[in-house]
Structure 1
Amino acid sequence: MEQAAARMEKEPRKMVIDVYTDWCGWCKKMDKETFTDSEVAELVNKHYYAVKLNAEGKEPITLKGQTFNFKTEYKAHELAVALLQGQMSFPTTVYLDEKMNMLAPVPGYLDADNFSKILRYFGENHHQSMNFQEYETQAK
Structure 2
Amino acid sequence: MSIQHNHRYSKSLFAGLCLLLSSLSAMAQPKESIQWISFEQLADSLRTKPKRVLLFFHTDWCAYCRKMQNDVFTDPQLVKRINNDYYAVRFDAESVDSVHFEGQIFTNEVTKKRTGRYHALARILAARDGKFVFPATLFLEPDFTVRHRHFEYLDRNRVLKLL
Cα RMSD for the two superposed structures: 1.3
Listed as ranges, the gaps of 5+ residues in structure 1 are: 120-140
Percent of residue pairs identical: 32
Number of the residue aligned with 1:122:
none
Kindly provide the CA deviation profile for residues 3-31 of structure 1, in whole angstroms up to 9, marking residues without a partner as x.
12211100000110110001110001111
Aligned-pair distance for 1:71? 2.4
Q: Under a length normalisation based on structure 1, what TM-score does the superposition of the two structures give?
A: 0.79
Paired residue type of 2:74: T
Gaps (5+ residues) in structure 2?
A: 1-38, 111-115
What amino acid maps onto 1:83 in structure 2?
L
2:156 corresponding residue in structure 1: 112
- Corresponding position: 1:92 with 2:130: no
Per-residue CA distance 1:82-120 (angstroms, 9 max, x = gap): 01243311001012211223333211111111111111x
* Match status 1:103 vs 2:147: yes
Determine the C-alpha separation between the residues in 2 that align with 1:23 and 1:113. 24
Corresponding residue for residue 52 of structure 2: 14
Tell me if the contact between 1:13 and 1:97 (Cα under 8 Å) persists in the aligned partners: yes
> Which whole-Å CA distance do the structure 2 matches of 1:78 and 1:19 have between them?
12
Q: What SS is found at the alignment partner of 1:100?
A: coil
Partner of 2:106: 68
- After superposition, the C-alpha distances for 1:50-102 in whole angstroms (9 at most, x for unaligned) are 11010000011122212111024x61000011012433110010122112233
Distance 2:67 2:53 in 1: 21
Q: Determine if contact 1:83/1:105 at 8 Å carries over to the other structure.
A: no
Q: Matches of 1:58 and 1:104 in 2, distance apart?
A: 27
Instruction: Write the letter of the residue equivalent to 2:157.
Output: D
Give 4+ residue runs of structure 1 displaced > 3 Å after superposition: none
Structure 1 counterpart of 2:71, one-letter code: E
